[in-house]
Amino acid sequence: MDLKRINDYTWEIPKSGDMKVSTIIYTSSKLLESVKQDRTLQQAKNVACLQGIQKTAYVMPDAHQGYGFPIGGVAAFDLDEGIISPGGVGYDINCGVRLLKTDYLERDVYGKRTQLLAEIFKEVPAGVGKGGITRLNRNVLLEVCVKGAEWAVENGYGQRDDLKRTEENGRMREADPGFLSSRAVERGIPQLGTLGAGNHFLEIQKVSKIFDRDVARAFGIHSENQILVMIHCGSRGLGHQVASDYIRLMENKLGSRGLPDRELINAPVRSQLGQEYYKSMSAAVNYAFANRQMIAHWVRNVFSKVMGSSEGMDQVYDVCHNVAKIEKHRIYGELKEVCIHRKGATRSFGPGREEIPEIYRSVGQPIIIPGSMGTASYILAGTTEAEELSFGSTAHGAGRLMSRHEARRRFRGEKIKQDMESKGIELKSTNWKGVAEEASQAYKDVDEVVEVSHKVGIGKLVAKVVPIGVMKG
Amino acid sequence: MERYRFLEHTSDAKFQAFGNTLVEAFCNAALATASLMWDWEKVEKKIEFKVTIEGKDLKQLLNSFLEEIIYLWDTKMFLFCFAENLRIEKKGSRYNLSALFKGDKYSEKYKIYGEAKAITYAEMEIKNKGDFLVQVVVDI
């Protein structure tokens, strides 16, 4: 494959063959080596062949092989000529991250972290083998899908202020749960308010380094050792079912049309089926916002109970990293609306964008990049350059390096727990196999991922955080 | 004959399932899928679900068939352990599948290892070289 080095952190696959645009990969030479080991680059090239793609297909620094689109793939499509693809969003629609700040310091919390984790474990259902605590009926579920986090706040989960500190204010207005299959609804009912398994986790963290004090202060992060809580989860079975359903509907209606990969199935954005997918996907996005809103509320309750107060536990932000949206971007000088797909990528809007809350409009949106279990995570800020360089997008996490199977063969969950404890990190999980799969050695180096983001300018470093307590579903 | 084997895949679970017949390979693929979430060998055959699936081709049929295991787990807490009377028929250009899923309802005595989110078409293969082989990547 023709891979051209542009500078230390940017590579290009020039347009060739069926590619309608070129592909730009933001990476380092070290990260590029692992990217070359799997099908990431071929998948990125395939994306560049899709109908109506605009400007360039982008690949983020944490990229790895996905289905159809690579994970860490960003692409924008013309609304008239272009497509929307369930594979360009992923199965876990609105998988995302929410960050809460606290006014506690490590010394306030350290001795109580065992109790905090035990209570969080009790309050927040992992949902593996057990349903959520709220048995919903179908009508309530549909309301959740219309209103998202707003539904949760109206029903006593959290505070109104959380909403404006959530991407899309916690609610995509385009949602229409009328287009959800009964299977999607059925899967959604028992799982609302659950964390899920796999790479999803909940961490009590402390700030270990502040890179940009002014921006950090704007985000509510004042000092090293300040305690934060990070929640990483998505739309659970409801979102997975929406993706599966619409892949099936699209191939039944439109066929695979000579696509290089069946997972790249898509429909024209403005077609009836394209719109039905978009409205269903938006419903799943809302479900995930409500899910994280409920979990955040339970975390606050636990802090109230164990620490005596949850005052000052404001939400920093909540970001999606698997989503398609209609956004305005400047393309070759012209401002136009496009259907942007971010699959394993975080929005990175800089100062001034009207989509970000007023409180952050002068500094850029907070970007939350979770590391692998038990390692550092990062808080970045969106940039104006990102709008030019990546349709306002950056990385979403560490990105896997090793298969889960290989990780299970090499690591033992119990040993990982011991190692983490020797570093002062408490881990609570009921699933040792799952812990082994999420071993930090199975992931790319998140430090390198965020450094590339910072150096390229698609998300600038604000703070580094490390866990002191981890709940894994 | 080996029922199934897991292969390397960076982010997800990729397996090959084998059989003397297509039906046997499908059946073993179902066991491989279940093995991502629980130990199907330890699940008692106490309850059953009748399953009927349609597909425009064999790959879609396989995809929908395996999805049924995830769906029944998510919605009925049903632990699949075997597909009995599995039948695959071609009707015109389409395929039909029927089977009786055997298994048990979840209780504390069963251990859940993880979650399967979805069955994908990524690298999916259905091969007939005398024996049958199906390859599937499950999003987990």
DSSP string, A305-320: HHHS--TT--EEEEEE
Q: Which of B59, B67, B106 sits opposite A129 (nearest CB)?
A: B106
CATH fit for domain B4-107+115-139, picks 3.40.50.1820, 3.40.50.300, 3.55.10.10, 1.10.3720.10: 3.55.10.10
d(CA A100, CA A220): 9
For residue range B121-132, list pLDDT tens digits in order: 989 999 999 999
Give A307's Cβ-side CA count (13 Å radius): 27
pLDDT of residue A197: 79
Mean pLDDT of A412-425: 89
Contacts of A195 (CB under 8 A, 6+ apart): A124, A125, A126, A127, A201, A202, A231, A233, A295, A471, A473
Contacts of A213 (CB under 8 A, 6+ apart): none
pLDDT of residue A43: 95
pLDDT of residue A444: 80
- b/e code A257-267 from CB counts within 10 Å (16+ = b): eebebbbbbbb
Beta bridge partners of A203: A230, A470
Task: For each of the domains in chain A, give its residue range(s) and CATH number, in order of start.
Answer: 4-401+443-472 (3.90.1860.10)
- Across the interface, whether the CB atoms of B6 and A405 are under 8 A apart is answered yes
- Across the interface, whether the CB atoms of A67 and B122 are under 8 A apart is answered yes
B-proximal residues of A, 166-185, CB under 8 Å? 183
Q: Say whether residue A136 is in contact with chain B using an 8 A CB cutoff.
A: no
Residue A211 CA, distance from chain mean position:
23
On the question of pLDDT at A130 being above 60, the answer is no
How many C-beta atoms surround the C-beta of residue A186 within 10 A? 19
Residue A260 dihedral angles phi and psi, to the nearest 5° = -70, -15
Mean pLDDT of A96-117: 96
For residue range B55-109, list pLDDT tens digits in order: 999 999 999 999 999 999 999 999 999 999 999 999 998 999 999 999 999 998 9
- Which tokens in the block code for residue A412? 């033992």
E strand map for chain B: 4-7, 13-19, 47-55, 78-91, 94-105, 118-119, 125-129, 131-139
Mean pLDDT of A54-65: 96
- Across the interface, whether the CB atoms of A401 and B67 are under 8 A apart is answered no
d(CA A113, CA A164): 29
Residue A396 among the catalytic residues = yes
- Across the interface, whether the CB atoms of A251 and B64 are under 8 A apart is answered no
Contacts of A255 (CB under 8 A, 6+ apart): none
Question: Which member of A232, A297, A396, A454 is catalytic?
Answer: A396
A-proximal residues of B, 32-51, CB under 8 Å? none
Query: How far A434 CA sits from the closest chain B CA (Å)?
Result: 6
Beta-sheet strand order (sheet of B78-91): B47-55, B94-105, B78-91
- In chain B, whose CA is at the least distance from the CA of A189? B75
- For the full predicted model, state whether its pTM sits above 0.90: yes
pLDDT of residue A430: 74
* Alpha helices, DSSP H, located in A72-222: 106-109, 113-123, 138-147, 149-154, 160-164, 182-188, 213-218
- Across the interface, whether the CB atoms of A196 and B110 are under 8 A apart is answered no
pLDDT of residue A257: 66
Going by pLDDT thresholds of 50, 70 and 90, the confidence category of residue A131 is low
Span between the terminal Cα atoms of chain A, in Å:
40
d(CA A190, CA B82): 25
Using a CB-CB cut-off of 8 Å, the residues of chain B touching A38 are 10
Residue B89 dihedral angles phi and psi, to the nearest 5° = -130, 145
d(CA B100, CA A330): 55
**ipTM for the predicted complex:** 0.94
* CA dist A150 → A212, A286, A291, A298 (Å): 32, 9, 11, 16
E strand or H helix that includes residue A464:
strand A460-472
Q: Which of A92, A183, A251 sits opposite B117 (nearest CB)?
A: A92
Mean pLDDT of A57-83: 95
Q: Where are the domains of chain B?
A: 4-107+115-139
